[in-house]
Structure 1
Amino acid sequence: MPRYQAGQTINPRNLTSIADQALSIPHPQQLTHLQFRRFAGCPMCNLHIRSFIQGYSALAEAGIQEVAVFHSSKTAMLASHAEAPFALIADPTKKLYAAFGVDSSIWAVLHPKSWLPMLKGLFKHGVGMPEKGQNPLGLPADFLIAPDGTIVACKYGVHGYDQWSLSEVLQLAQQYQQRSVG
């Protein structure tokens, strides 16, 4: 599976969120943070997504279009994340995952660094199982994409909780904006 690197350009895509909102990646005027999560009920993913829901105003103030992709159905995502203030994309066939080179690994759940977040997520959000045919071993990935489609930065996770935090996304966006102005 080919993987992107910073400096490469993506092909524009028109997507529809689980709230039936049309959106473009990249956004024509804003940076886009495109994050790939596992399945809708994933305890680690729920913990992570909640931090972005809580910090959404900071993303909006920074001019970042936030988009999260799950390899779950729209129905499962609405049951878990209907209150998200940003676009969520259902990709149960993992076409977008394949296009961005987002993979899976047994280390998603066996890596020791994923255990504590998994437990925290279980206690805060309960047990969520993948839908039939879904892979519980998906890895996360993050992309910060400029309006012209250039990948400003990207990260392919090596375990289930190896992704950018909200503060990292904001810092990367600030660094990009400083370079663009200067």
Structure 2
Amino acid sequence: MKFEIGQSAPSALLETILGQRVTIPDSGSAWVHLQFRRFAGCPVCNFHLMGLTRRHEEVRAAGVRQVVVFHSTREEMLGYQAQLPFDCVADPHKRLYRQYGVETSIRALLHPSVFWSGMRWVLATRRFYRRAENGILGLPADFLIDARGRIAAAHYGSHADDQWDSDHVLRLVGTAARSGDLSQPSPRGSAS
């Protein structure tokens, strides 16, 4: 099942690779940008996360908590994602991927930008991935979830490099705040 705008996101209590708890929805943040990436060493995903890291404070200031899920083990992720400033969650059994309808496809590798993004990460870090837990055919997905658990925006990637960047997330949050169509969280302690 693929989610659409306005539907309720599945509630989840997650643990990050650093042992912190994350809830979806998150009543402490106006928004959660829930990101499904591929395997921990994916050069395309890691290049994308470098860009999100540079703009993390700006995105957080807009009330967005970023949660990144990989279909790898915690141990594998610690070698690639431990230094990231946002919440990173291991889902090696792809439980969340199934709940959110995130798929795999040979198309994951067929877009020209996939090679270019991956190569830029390798050149910037001089790192190569050791293994691709759960394969290399995973597709990314992005969801913007409000504090009440409604999906404000959803994107299922058509290839490995088809992911939201910080500008897109900030535009979505700005549009949602201006439109009034999406419920904004109530101040703490007030009635919903």
Shared fold (TM-score greater than 0.5)? Answer: yes
TM-score relative to the length of structure 2: 0.89
Q: How many residues align?
A: 180
Tell me if the contact between 2:13 and 2:23 (Cα under 8 Å) persists in the aligned partners: yes
Contact 2:10–2:99 (CA under 8 A) maintained in structure 1: no
CA contact 2:141–2:163 (8 Å) conserved in 1: yes
Deviation per residue, 1:91-113 (Å, 9 max, x gap): 01111001000001111112223
CA distance in 1, matches of 2:75, 2:113: 30
How many Å apart are 1:16 and its aligned residue? 0.7
Please say if 1:14 is aligned against 2:19.
Answer: no
Letter in 2 for 1:13: A
Q: Residue type matched to 1:94 in 2?
A: K
**% identity of equivalent residues:** 38
1:23 is aligned to 22
3-state DSSP of counterpart to 2:49? helix
Separation in structure 1 between the aligned mates of residue 130 and residue 178 of structure 2, nearest angstrom = 42
Partner of 1:85: helix, strand, or coil?
Answer: coil
Tell which deviates more after alignment, 169-178 or 154-163.
Answer: 169-178
Aligned to 2:43: 43
TM-score (norm 1): 0.93
Tell me how far 1:25 sits from its aligned partner.
0.6
Aligned-partner residue type, residue 128 of structure 1: Y
Contact 1:130 1:136 in 2 (8 A): no
Greater CA drift, 68-77 or 121-130: 121-130
Unaligned runs of 5+ in 2: 185-192
SS in structure 2 of the partner of residue 161 of structure 1? coil
Superposed CA RMSD: 1.6
Q: Which runs of 4+ in 1 moved over 3 A?
A: none
